[in-house]
A and B are shown apart, each in its own frame.
Chain A
Amino acid sequence: MNYRNLRDLIRLAEKRGEKIGEIVIAVEAEQKDMTSEKVREEMVTVWRVMQASIRRGLAEENRSVSGLSGGDAKLVAKTKPSFLSRRILKAVAMALGVAEVNAAMGKIVACPTAGSCGIVPAALTEAANRLKLSEEDVILALFTAAGIGIVCSINASISGAEGGCQAECGVAAAMAAGALTELAGGTPKQVGHAAALCLSNMLGLVCDPVAGLVEVPCILRNAGALMQALLAAELALAGVESRIPVDEVIGAMDEIGKALPESLRETAQGGLANTPTGQKLNRDLPLD
């Protein structure tokens, strides 16, 4: 058994009457010559680190070495929301918090990269709290997310230097959207639509980190991508379908990534990094 795109994954899941996450576990176990139990156990370790990073993200200010970031997660967590629900704003604080922990040299799980590490943990923690899920459910959903990420890495890219931020925060959002949809009872097809809808909203996002550091706008984008994931899951669960099949959306991301000039692929030469203020922040950074 193997898969190279989401169509494969959805078909396999439908044929076997299983969740996408279960297919992903079975393939991983087969390829790594491990038992499914062992594969699951490894993910439990990963999930524990994700949870710890959320705790630290919410509890501390987590100032970065450069001084460019830190403190926003706490600020958001203690604010009374004006538009979002309390829970969603809390999830936003989690996404910001994990990304701040990363910038402050704390321990995180790259998902798919360090820059986009806050999105999936925040989405799944919100789902676990809201839907009162067991750890087992969440672990399974992490494999669903991973399946989407693997497919993106095969058919496009999961590196900002290659494909822009759509490949990091965009893919993370699509992973989260699929996982959320599955957790809320969506079918494998709906998981695919959620990923497609989400990624469609993230296409074209460039990688333009100020001073080349994984802080501005990276931390903010974790929050934005989380919102896109929640939105896409909600739409897919309502029955909204992506007019463009998910694998073709991933193909579009690949094409767009390749068309991006180097200045917008993690070189800190374009976009926000190249604004007068971005440049000034870069010049003012302590070198020693």
Chain B
Amino acid sequence: MGKADSVFEVIGPIMIGPSSSHTAGAVRIGQIAGAILSEPAVKAVIYLHGSYALTGKGHGTDKALVAGLLGFGAADERISKSLKIAKEKGLLVKFRRVDLGDDYHPNTARLLLQGNKGTNFEITAISVGGGNISVIELNGLPIKLSGEYYTLITIHKDQPGIVAQASEIIAKNNVNIATANVTRQRRGGLAVMAIEMDQPLPLEAVKQLEKVAQIVRFIQPVY
């Protein structure tokens, strides 16, 4: 955790313990993963790496991730009961410990999700301290988003024009871009784009992009 630039970073956040990185951060990972799936999850296979694998149980990382998937926030007292609640809601959860190698941050979770409309996603995210997180892979493609902004995500066939089109739509709506990144498998293969913005995009703007990209997601900041 770096320099605090608000009173409420040193006295706060209000959270469910015991750990900002292993509990609060894990909730946020679950929340963002759930938002990307954007339909109720029916199945989640969750891989825990590094410190998440070794101390996750004691920190309630498992419960926190599932709580996030269910849409609970980091201060929600239902977190400690989330595994039971998931069962009641028909969400099947499995945890596996993995070693993804030294290249991965010690607090890494990879979630394989299936939604009730059959959508599948693979999301890998890291918890970098103080409850802050970063999604680093989406369906195996590198991406970078923190969940702190309004975020536009697309998965599209790599072809000229999509990035330009997205920026045009964003500019037209007077929305300010905070960060943007695009990566692709190979030329002409699948590409993912993540744009973090200070303001929300109107629904019609998002709809416009659905004509050119396979998958379009617009997610709200998660707290």
Contacts and interface: CB of A to CB of B under 8 A. Distances in A.
Given A108-B17, A149-B10, A212 B55 contact: yes
Interface in B53-90: 54-55, 57-60, 63, 75, 77, 79-80
A77 interface: no
A161 interface: yes
Interface stretch (B18-26, B31-39, B108-116, B199-207): B18-26
A239 to B, nearest CB: 28
B15 A110 contact: yes
A150 B55 CA distance: 29
Given A46-B11, A110-B12, A142-B11, A159 B57 contact: no
Contact of B3 (A66, A145, A154, A161): A154
Which interface class (under 10, 10 to 19, 20 to 34, 35 or more) fits B?
Answer: 35 or more
Contacts of A101: 17
A113 B57 CA distance: 20
B97 to A, nearest CB: 8
Contacts of B3: 153-154
Contacts of B77: 106-107
Interface in A223-280: 268
B2 A153 contact: yes
B8 A46 contact: yes
A153 B37 CA distance: 37
Contact of A153 (B1, B16, B59, B97): B1
Contacts of A159: 1, 129-130
Contacts of A43: 7, 11
A115 B211 CA distance: 49
Contact of A106 (B10, B16, B58): B16
A133 interface: no
B13 interface: yes
Contacts of B17: 101-108, 114, 117, 214
A45 B79 contact: no
A212 B3 CA distance: 24
B103 interface: no
Nearest to B57: A287
Contacts of A287: 57, 97
Given A65-B58, A117-B17, A105 B7 contact: no
30 contacts: A25-B7, A31-B5, A39-B7, A42-B8, A46-B8, A64-B18, A65-B59, A104-B80, A105-B63, A105-B79, A105-B80, A106-B80, A108-B17, A109-B14, A111-B11, A112-B4, A112-B10, A117-B17, A120-B11, A146-B7, A146-B11, A153-B9, A154-B3, A159-B129, A159-B130, A212-B54, A213-B55, A213-B59, A214-B18, A288-B57
Given A68-B58, A114-B20, 20 more contacts: A24-B7, A46-B14, A65-B57, A103-B17, A103-B18, A104-B80, A105-B16, A105-B18, A105-B79, A107-B14, A109-B11, A110-B12, A147-B7, A162-B1, A214-B19, A215-B18, A286-B57, A287-B57, A287-B97, A288-B57
Interface of B: 1-20, 23-24, 51, 54-55, 57-60, 63, 75, 77, 79-80, 95, 97, 129-130
Interface of A: 24-25, 28, 31-32, 39, 42-43, 45-46, 49, 64-66, 68, 101-115, 117, 120, 142-143, 145-147, 149-150, 153-154, 157-159, 161-162, 175, 211-215, 268, 285-288
In the complex, the 3 A-B pairs of residues with the closest C-beta atoms, listed nearest first: A102-B17, A149-B10, A212-B55
